[in-house]
């Protein structure tokens, strides 16, 4: 079932999310819904607070090549355990901030630990777009958006445009 994606500014996008203790069927269903919502958008990552659930859960799939098999990843309690000194700049966007993009500098390579949908501890090293995406999604769990990396003026400009977009959508 597709869920509604919250649009910035929204207080739920600024909250620190709670760790998941037990992976229940409800949480697995939420993860499935989030993947469906993400693919439909379309996007390459989605965090639970973006659908209004304040649990530490993200989903991502950065496979972009046509014809290449999808690789949906579901991560409960994801954590960056190591990061490279070398950085990378990507033009980032966000499903909660539609149609705005900006360059963000982040560590190029990160090692991430998480719990998969069956409760198994997993650990993997990510590079390139996967690395940027997983860091962007983990930021969401700490109430942080990619525009928080921008200069205040740029951030305020985008926020005002989002407020206007939300007013327009509310009138429909
Ligand atoms: Zn985002």
Q: Distance from the CA of 45 to the center of ligand 1, in angstroms?
A: 7
Positive or negative, the CA dihedral 154, 155, 158, 163 is negative
Please tell me the predicted confidence (pLDDT) of residue 67: 87
Q: Distance from the CA of 96 to the center of ligand 1, in angstroms?
A: 6
Please tell me the predicted confidence (pLDDT) of residue 172: 77
Q: Is 100 annotated as a binding residue?
A: no
Please tell me the predicted confidence (pLDDT) of residue 65: 83
Give the residue ranges of the chain where pLDDT is below 50. Answer: none
Please tell me the predicted confidence (pLDDT) of residue 168: 93
Q: How far apart are CA 107 and CA 82, in angstroms?
A: 10
Please tell me the predicted confidence (pLDDT) of residue 107: 98
Catalytic residue of the set 86, 91, 124, 137: 137
Give the closest residue to 13 by CA, choosing from 128, 140, 133, 153: 140
- Is residue 65 among the annotated active site residues? no
Q: Is 62 annotated as a binding residue?
A: no
Please tell me the predicted confidence (pLDDT) of residue 29: 98
């Amino acid at each position: 079932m597709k869920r509604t994606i919250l649009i910035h500014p929204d207080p739920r996008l600024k909250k620190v999310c709670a760790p998941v203790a037990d992976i229940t069927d409800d949480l697995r269903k939420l993860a499935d819904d989030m993947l469906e919502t993400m693919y439909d958008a379309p996007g390459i990552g989605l965090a639970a607070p973006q659908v209004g659930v304040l649990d530490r859960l993200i989903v991502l799939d950065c496979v972009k090549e046509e014809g290449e098999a999808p690789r949906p990843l579901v991560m409960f309690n994801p954590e960056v355990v190591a990061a490279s000194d070398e950085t990378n700049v990507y033009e980032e966007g966000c499903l909660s901030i539609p149609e705005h993009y900006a360059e963000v500098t982040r560590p190029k390579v990160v090692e991430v630990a998480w719990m998969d949908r069956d409760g198994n501890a997993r650990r993997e090293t990510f590079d390139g777009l996967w690395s940027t995406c997983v860091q962007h999604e983990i930021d969401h769990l700490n109430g942080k958006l990619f525009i928080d990396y921008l200069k205040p003026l740029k951030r305020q400009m985008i926020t005002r445009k989002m407020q206007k977009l939300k007013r327009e959508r509310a009138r429909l």
